[in-house]
Amino acid sequence: MNEQTLRELDKNITEDEKLILGSVDKFLEKDVKPYVKEFESEDKYPQDIADKMAELGLFGATISQEYGGLGLSAVTYSKIVENVSSVWMSVSGIFNSHLIMCAAVEKHGTDEMKENYLPKFASGELRGGIALTEPDCGTDLQSIKTKAIKNNQSYTINGSKTWITNSVQGDVLAVLAKTNSEISPPHKGMSLILVEKKSGYVAKKLKKLGYRGIDTGEVQLNQIEVPLENLIGKEEGKGLQQILSGLELGRINVAARGVGLGRAALEDSIEYSKVRKTFGKPISQHQSIQIKLAEMATRLEASRLLTEQAAKAYDSGKRSDLQAGMAKLHATETALFNATEAMRIHGGFGYSPEYNIERYYRDAPLLAIGEGTNELQKIIIAKQLVQ
């Protein structure tokens, strides 16, 4: 983040937050950028990078200072995610899923749960994520089949989850399960339960087109016993609402990722267009390239403003799913657009791993699918408009 950008943020963030943003940028320059190609090409988990993020406090970025977190606003957090994603989008996923889990615990957990878990989450001692989707259902969470049967002092959980971030390398998951399969509508019988890896669940890493390095796994929960006090909240049947409130922050994160990736694609394209020559002049002087750059930049700026608006709405404490949905939709479509245009601007070189463009091109589609598909975002937006 350059000095001009920091000046623009002066009115919205504290001195401490500016220091954090500066520290993150130094970390990205020194500890992430030189190693991206190595870890990405080998699809190797960046353990050292994750540990350094814990030292920076990023695993507690949005957790209240009362529990040892940084207590950052969503506005500042989204700026961090943008900057991280402009260097390597996968890294932002490591703490995003973790912080959605944290938000669910901090908003809805009992005092005992918060005091027990949040300091460990904030320090990175325990790192985790959310286990929602299953092999037979993605966006349609009411169709999950994982069950949690209540016994005298524990829940017995059986089921499988897929595409779960931090399930292989992490320590704990917030698992969405049915505690009552008879009730209608189904969401009234769904609960959110913290399940630590030491309880015995098994996670297998999945291969992906992009978004490499970060662990995304398939989770098997077979006769897993967890204490009753691991239920998030004081009563069953609130799990879907609890996790959906956390997903507002998740969608702001994904929007910020889209801004970061779209920015990287644009910046790389501008620099390349200045040095690549055809017909005796830099391609930046060709009108067709200028039109592409102008549209990429305009879409990017609109995405950034929508993301900031969503973050401010979230910080206000009011319902922000409309703003988060709009930001997620526009920013991720911008990432797809900019990555594709960057590929065209770079031509054959964009198709080579020598440049970063092919990584942007592989990473961008995930953003349109993850944290609720963009088709779902349109439905959410429309419903809110009608209401």
3-state SS, one letter per residue, for 64-78: CHHHCCCCCCHHHHH
What one-character DSSP code corresponds to residue 169? Answer: T
| Integer Cα distance of 10 and 265 in angstroms | 27
Exposure class string for 210-248: b at 16+ Cβ within 10 A, else e: bbbbbbbbbbbbeebebeeebbbbeebbbbbebbebbbb
Query: Active site residue: 236, 248, 341, 371, which one?
Result: 371
Which pair of tokens denotes residue 202?
A: 């098994």
Whether 295 is a known active-site residue: answer no
| Integer Cα distance of 221 and 218 in angstroms | 10
Provide the angle, in degrees to the nearest 10, between the axes of the packed helices 239-275 and 74-87: 50
DSSP character string of 4-53 = HHHHHHTTTS-HHHHHHHHHHHHHIIIIIGGGHHHHHHHT---HHHHHHH
3-state SS, one letter per residue, for 128-147: EEEECCECCECCCHHHCCCE
* CA proximity to 201, closest of 178, 231, 225: 225
* Residues forming the active site: 371
